[in-house]
């Protein structure tokens, strides 16, 4: 196991390049199972979640090659049974269900693990597959899915009590590509990663329209073929670096290879705090104000403020003057970063799905524990700003989703090192 030791106080300057999106790569890699032809996926980030996904694909029987961000998958033969020992490590393995059911008419998928961010059910995924004609049974920790009479497209309302579901929309879209007739997904997730998957599916010969809106239409086709695709930039990694620059005193940082249109809610919030943000093509530059003020955020489905940026923005509010309010409507329990930030001196009161931050407090380095992917990123950001040294334990959480985060931050002037424990 490794820990990260950060010495606070350095400014971030220069340029950081954003990697390809983890959350796009995972369902797109799963979608390569929909054809026996070769697929080439470019800019897949080298993080442990994509590594787990490639391990799952090879254990299912696909040939997988990876060389510097390019992944080549050929799934001539595919088994319907996903391995528990890998699936338990990553919740996104749930998106194997759609492609397996479409390609083989059956799937045994171990119930997923992943980030500990509260209750994360998959009822909407299962309901959607049932509506297409699948029979679903949950037994011995596995979801066992069979399709006795083929998948038949229909109109399905995928809205849940917490809004739309990203991977649920992905699963249904993938299953519907090879179904008979047309599937209409009402209440679909409109996240950029859903659009990226739809683009890839269309390159494979699928007929998906409306991705990026709440109503997606999938006209089933007889078969799909191989395709090449470059995944979109990781908006959450990019947003994390934008917030890092707003945290670290004296920063003037250019974040390159990002899609600012995927980050509007984050950029608007940073501007509301007083930071100067300049968007120019694929680059966004943050010039930190020395008198930042807090504001309020409320997470929601895209294009609202992303829940995956909530922890990082909470850390920023800790060092911004005034009272800030953070409401997470997507994952109401996602506040594991709060007690760790408190250890560093943050003043935060939690009330249900809301955190109230009394900003402008000095942070001091402390030993802290990474608890999930984005909460760990928030601790790294707080450590950049804190006086003295912060030790972030359980670094594997952050390596699940950030490609070489320490190297990238060091290249911009941050002071940190990894140590084995
Ligand atoms: C994806 C992202 C994750 C992000 C989340 C919300 C990937 C790999 N992960 O996760 O980083 O935080 O979107 O933007 O892309 N829900 C149900 N029933 C279901 C499914 C979901 O009630 O069957 C609820 C969830 O508990 C949550 C909300 O719906 O409250 C949204 O979750 P969902 O969009 O499904 O998250 P993921 O797709 O798993």
pLDDT digits 0-9 by tens, 373-400: 999 999 999 999 999 999 999 999 999 9
pLDDT digits 0-9 by tens, 356-378: 999 998 999 999 998 889 999 99
Q: pLDDT band for 162, please (50, 70, 90 cuts).
A: confident
Clarify whether residues 312 and 410 are in a common domain.
yes
Domain termination residue (choose one: 180, 195, 230): 230
- Is 307 near ligand 1, meaning CB less than 6 Å away? yes
Per the structure, the complete domain to which residue 384 belongs is given by 2-19+233-420
**How far does the centroid of ligand 1 lie from the alpha carbon of residue 10, in Å?**
35
Which residue numbers are catalytic?
Answer: 115
Clarify whether residues 47 and 135 are in a common domain.
yes
CA 415, CA 418: separation in Å to the nearest integer? 11
Give, using CA atoms, the residue closest to atom 5 of ligand 1. 166
Clarify whether residues 211 and 348 are in a common domain.
no
Q: pLDDT band for 88, please (50, 70, 90 cuts).
A: confident
Q: Which of 380, 361, 359 is nearest to 369 (CA)?
A: 380
Residue of 160, 214, 378 best suited for mutating to test ligand 1, as the one with most atoms within 8 Å of CB: 160
DSSP 233: B
pLDDT of residue 49: 94
- Is 159 near ligand 1, meaning CB less than 6 Å away? no
pLDDT of residue 117: 47
Q: How far is CA 48 from CA 52, 342, 376, in A?
A: 6, 29, 15
- Is 310 near ligand 1, meaning CB less than 6 Å away? no
pLDDT digits 0-9 by tens, 282-311: 999 999 999 999 999 999 999 999 999 999
Whether residue 112 is predicted with pLDDT greater than 80 in this model: the reply is no
- Is 276 near ligand 1, meaning CB less than 6 Å away? no
- Is 129 near ligand 1, meaning CB less than 6 Å away? no
Clarify whether residues 75 and 12 are in a common domain.
no
Give, using CA atoms, the residue closest to atom 33 of ligand 1. 165
Q: How far is CA 372 from CA 33, 40, 93, 131, 219, in A?
A: 29, 30, 17, 33, 38
8 A C-beta contact, residue 55 and residue 62: no
The rounded mean pLDDT for the chain is: 95
Sign, CA dihedral 112-114-116-117, equals negative
The CATH number that applies at residue 215 is: 3.65.10.10
Whether residue 329 is predicted with pLDDT greater than 60 in this model: the reply is yes
Clarify whether residues 27 and 52 are in a common domain.
yes
Domain termination residue (choose one: 173, 197, 230): 230
Is the pTM of the predicted complex or chain greater than 0.75?
yes
pLDDT digits 0-9 by tens, 12-27: 999 999 999 999 999 9
**How far does the centroid of ligand 1 lie from the alpha carbon of residue 330, in Å?**
8
Domain termination residue (choose one: 230, 264, 281): 230
Clarify whether residues 101 and 249 are in a common domain.
no
CA 316, CA 305: separation in Å to the nearest integer? 15
Q: Which is the closest atom of ligand 1 to the Cα of 123?
A: 23
Whether residue 163 is predicted with pLDDT greater than 90 in this model: the reply is no
Clarify whether residues 34 and 105 are in a common domain.
yes
pLDDT mean over 351-356: 97
Clarify whether residues 129 and 267 are in a common domain.
no
Clarify whether residues 338 and 244 are in a common domain.
yes
Clarify whether residues 341 and 362 are in a common domain.
yes
Clarify whether residues 110 and 194 are in a common domain.
yes
pLDDT mean over 99-125: 81
**How far does the centroid of ligand 1 lie from the alpha carbon of residue 167, in Å?**
6
Residues 6 or more apart in contact with residue 209 via CB below 8 angstroms: 216, 217
Sheet holding 389-393, edge to edge: 367-369, 389-393, 2-7, 415-420
- Is 333 near ligand 1, meaning CB less than 6 Å away? no
pLDDT digits 0-9 by tens, 260-288: 999 999 999 999 999 999 999 999 999 99
Whether residue 253 is predicted with pLDDT greater than 70 in this model: the reply is yes
Q: pLDDT band for 241, please (50, 70, 90 cuts).
A: very high
Whether residue 121 is predicted with pLDDT greater than 90 in this model: the reply is no
CA 235, CA 80: separation in Å to the nearest integer? 32
Looking at the 3D structure of the chain, how many domains does it have?
Answer: 2
Clarify whether residues 281 and 154 are in a common domain.
no
Q: From its phi and psi, is residue 134 left (phi > 0), alpha (psi between -120 and 50) or beta?
A: beta
């Amino acid at each position: 196991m490794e820990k990260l030791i950060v010495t606070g106080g350095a400014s971030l300057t220069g340029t950081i390049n954003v990697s390809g999106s983890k959350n796009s790569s995972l369902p797109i890699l799963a979608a390569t199972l929909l054809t026996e032809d070769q697929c080439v996926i470019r800019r897949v980030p080298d993080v442990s979640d994509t590594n787990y996904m490639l391990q799952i694909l090879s254990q299912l029987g696909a040939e997988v090659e990876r060389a510097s961000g390019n992944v080549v998958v050929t799934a001539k033969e595919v088994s319907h049974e996903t391995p528990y020992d890998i699936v338990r490590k990553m919740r996104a393995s749930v998106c194997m269900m759609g492609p397996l059911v479409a390609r083989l008419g059956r799937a045994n998928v171990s119930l997923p693990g992943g980030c500990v961010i509260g209750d994360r059910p998959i009822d909407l995924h299962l309901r959607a597959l049932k509506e297409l004609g699948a029979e679903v049974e949950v037994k011995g920790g596995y979801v066992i899915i069979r399709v006795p009479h083929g998948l038949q497209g229909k109109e399905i309302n995928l809205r849940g009590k917490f809004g739309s579901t990203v991977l649920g929309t992905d699963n249904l879209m993938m299953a519907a590509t090879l179904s008979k007739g047309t599937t209409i997904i009402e209440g679909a997730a409109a996240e950029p990663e859903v659009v990226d998957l739809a683009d890839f599916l269309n390159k494979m010969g699928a007929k998906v329209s409306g991705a990026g809106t709440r109503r997606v239409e999938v006209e089933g086709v007889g078969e799909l073929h191989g395709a090449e695709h470059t995944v979109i930039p990781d908006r959450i990694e990019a947003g994390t670096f934008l917030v890092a620059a707003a945290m670290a005193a004296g920063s003037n940082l250019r974040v390159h290879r990002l899609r600012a249109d995927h980050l509007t809610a984050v950029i608007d919030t940073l501007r509301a705090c007083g930071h100067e943000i300049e968007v120019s093509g694929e680059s966004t530059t943050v010039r930190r104000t020395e008198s930042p003020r807090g504001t309020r955020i409320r997470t929601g489905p895209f294009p609202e403020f992303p829940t995956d940026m909530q922890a990082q923005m909470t850390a920023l509010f800790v060092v911004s003057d005034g009272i800030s309010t953070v409401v997470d409507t997507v994952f109401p329990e996602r506040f594991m970063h709060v007690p760790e930030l408190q250890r560093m001196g943050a003043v935060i009161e939690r009330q249900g799905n809301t955190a109230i931050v009394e900003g402008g407090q000095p942070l001091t380095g402390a030993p802290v524990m990474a608890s999930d992917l984005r909460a760990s990123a928030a601790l790294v950001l707080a450590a950049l700003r804190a006086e003295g040294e912060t030790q972030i334990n359980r670094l594997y959480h952050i390596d699940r989703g950030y490609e070489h985060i320490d190297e990238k931050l060091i290249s911009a002037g941050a002071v940190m090192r990894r140590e084995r424990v």
